[in-house]
Amino acid sequence: GAPRRAPEGQLDPELVLKLDREHVWHPYGPMPGMRDPLVVASAAGATLTLADGRELVDGMSSWWAAIHGYRHPVLDAAAVDQLGRMSHVMFGGLTHEPAVRLARTLVEITPPGLEHVFLADSGSVSVEVAIKMCLQYWRSVGRPAKQRLLTWRGGYHGDTFHPMSVCDPEGGMHHLWGGVLPRQVFAPIPPVEFAQSYVDDLAATLAECADEVAAIIVEPVVQGAGGMRFHDPAYLRALRELCDTHDVLLVFDEIATGFGRTGELFAADHAGVTPDVMCLGKALTGGYLTLAATLCTTRVAQGISRGAVPVLAHGPTFMGNPLACAVASASIELLLAAPWRATVAGISAGLRAGLEPARRLPGVLDVRVLGAIGVIQLDHEVEMAAATAAAVDAGVWLRPFRDLIYAMPPYVVTQSELERITDAMVAAAKACPPKHLVNQVSRREG
Ligand code: PMP
């Protein structure tokens, strides 16, 4: 439709686009901006309302975060209530109930043994903190050679430098930053099904370098931004055993998987494994505010505290932000008070049923669903603009990338909204037909 006039005091959408293009960086974006982003004016429930009045069902939960949807009355109230006290104070030398209450809750709901919480301000920083904890632990206990990290390929842990070093080496960052990133140890991507031979190979790799390795860091059960791959939780138990055998710490990055997304509250719960360090973010505040957490065991905390430098030297300005902490506590309370397991199972069933037709499309390599995550994988790159446009035409917000068309909707999504999402995913796949139709059938069946 024709662009609406901007309400009093707001910029005209055309001007927003112009200024955006001239001045504002976007994720993995060029400057000046190349494609016009959609201007979003407001959001409520599972719906994004654009400045031109169009409404889109949100298939992305703002990248795993907005599990309760937008403008949830309980979360709005928690934010307003906390604003009435303080939105932020420094955390050096001061503490407050919102941070302490949240930390206590996180200790209670995460795997047993994680006792200490660092409240960071973004996922990448929480991974930085996790890595710093591990490296400092080994320095502190007199084994300073253990400073490398082992991970499997296909991972994604954030865009700051140390997290980048454990992202998939084929993922586009390593070749750009050759010589700058710390050199880590990479194992192959784990097979979907549990394979003892994979674990044996990993054991052999670790045995060779354990004297240099501080920690194994992985995304448990779901590799997200690195490829939307799933694997058998039994690998997590194998990792725990390997780490214990070789005196290596285990870090789970649950920034994407946390808070019910995979069908368990945390992906580690699928395997009953406690890592030494765990990162949370994204859905921690129900996607309302920027907050992340790094939890560790008493062993790690005490190791650090007994070292020559007996403090964890990290302290961001917005550490423990009370506004974010208050909303996080409200979001967790809201989740746990709801039948979230049944809700996620229902979304799972809806995704499975709705994505079934995609299996028969030419060029579709795989269709997979885990918890409230649905993925169509093509055997070729998506055409991002065409795929996104097809979804938007179907009234849905998706962000296809590489060979993937995927969704992880807010848990408040209705049955009919979910159907729109799966229909839009199928439409997006149709909008990206394979360049060569030869061999499609055999490849799909292989
Ligand atoms: N780890 C994982 C598994 C993630 O999915 C992300 C975000 N996509 C991050 C770390 C980085 O978090 P942030 O974008 O908040 O820095």
Tell me if 399 is assigned to a ligand binding site: yes
DSSP state of 58: E
Average pLDDT, integer, range 114-125: 98
Give distance in angstroms: CA of 28 to centre of ligand 1. Answer: 14
Q: What DSSP letter does each residue of 20-37 carry, written as one string? A: HHHH---TT--SS--SPP
Give distance in angstroms: CA of 158 to centre of ligand 1. Answer: 5
Looking at residue 132, its amino acid is: K
Query: What's the pLDDT at 446?
Result: 31
Torsion sign, CA atoms 306, 310, 313, 314: positive
**Best probe residue, ligand 1, of 157, 161, 165, 262 (max atoms within 8 Å of C-beta):** 157
Cβ(157) – ligand 1 distance below 6 Å:
yes
Looking at residue 25, its amino acid is: W
Instruction: Decide: 213 and 149 in contact? Cβ < 8 Å.
Output: yes
Domains of the chain from N-terminus onward: 38-71+340-445 (3.90.1150.10), 76-337 (3.40.640.10)
Residue 64 has pLDDT above 50, yes or no: yes
Distance, CA of 154 to chain centre: 14
Average pLDDT, integer, range 191-217: 98
Query: What's the pLDDT at 442?
Result: 40
Cβ(217) – ligand 1 distance below 6 Å:
no
CA–CA separation, 262 vs 346, rounded Å?
12
Tell me if 317 is assigned to a ligand binding site: yes
Query: What's the pLDDT at 170?
Result: 85
Quickly count helices (H) and strands (E) in the chain: 14, 16
Instruction: Decide: 390 and 430 in contact? Cβ < 8 Å.
Output: yes
Query: What's the pLDDT at 144?
Result: 97
Helix boundaries (H) for 150-266: 161-165, 196-209, 234-246
Q: How confident is the model at residue 287 (pLDDT cuts 50, 70, 90)?
A: very high
Cβ(17) – ligand 1 distance below 6 Å:
no
Give catalytic residues, as residue numbers.
28, 156, 253, 282
Helix boundaries (H) for 60-151: 61-64, 73-83, 97-109, 123-140
Cβ(124) – ligand 1 distance below 6 Å:
yes
pLDDT in tens, 4-60: 566 778 899 999 999 999 999 999 999 998 778 999 999 999 999 999 999 999 999
CA–CA separation, 273 vs 267, rounded Å?
9
Tell me if 316 is assigned to a ligand binding site: yes
pLDDT in tens, 228-266: 999 999 999 999 999 999 999 999 999 999 999 999 999
Q: How confident is the model at residue 437 (pLDDT cuts 50, 70, 90)?
A: low
Structure ipTM: 0.99
- What is the residue-averaged pLDDT of the chain? 95
CA–CA separation, 204 vs 210, rounded Å?
10
Cβ(58) – ligand 1 distance below 6 Å:
no
Instruction: Decide: 276 and 250 in contact? Cβ < 8 Å.
Output: yes
Residue 438 has pLDDT above 70, yes or no: no
Q: What DSSP letter does each residue of 256-288 carry, written as one string? A: TTTTTTTSSSSGGGGTT---SEEEE-GGGGTTS
Query: What's the pLDDT at 10?
Result: 85
Give distance in angstroms: CA of 9 to centre of ligand 1. Answer: 34
Tell me if 183 is assigned to a ligand binding site: no
Give distance in angstroms: CA of 157 to centre of ligand 1. Answer: 5
pTM: 0.95
Element (H, E) at 393: helix 384-393
Q: Which residues pair with 117 in a beta bridge?
A: 295
The neighbour count for residue 17, using CB atoms within 10 Å, is 18
What is the per-residue burial (b if ≥16 Cβ within 10 Å, else e) of 216-234? bbbbbbbbbbbbbbbbbbb
Q: How confident is the model at residue 310 (pLDDT cuts 50, 70, 90)?
A: very high
Cβ(122) – ligand 1 distance below 6 Å:
yes
**Best probe residue, ligand 1, of 64, 121, 122, 124 (max atoms within 8 Å of C-beta):** 124
Give distance in angstroms: CA of 434 to centre of ligand 1. Answer: 30
Burial class, 160, CB count within 10 angstroms (exposed 0-12 / middle 13-18 / buried 19+): middle
Cβ(388) – ligand 1 distance below 6 Å:
no
Residue 90 has pLDDT above 80, yes or no: yes
Query: What's the pLDDT at 190?
Result: 98
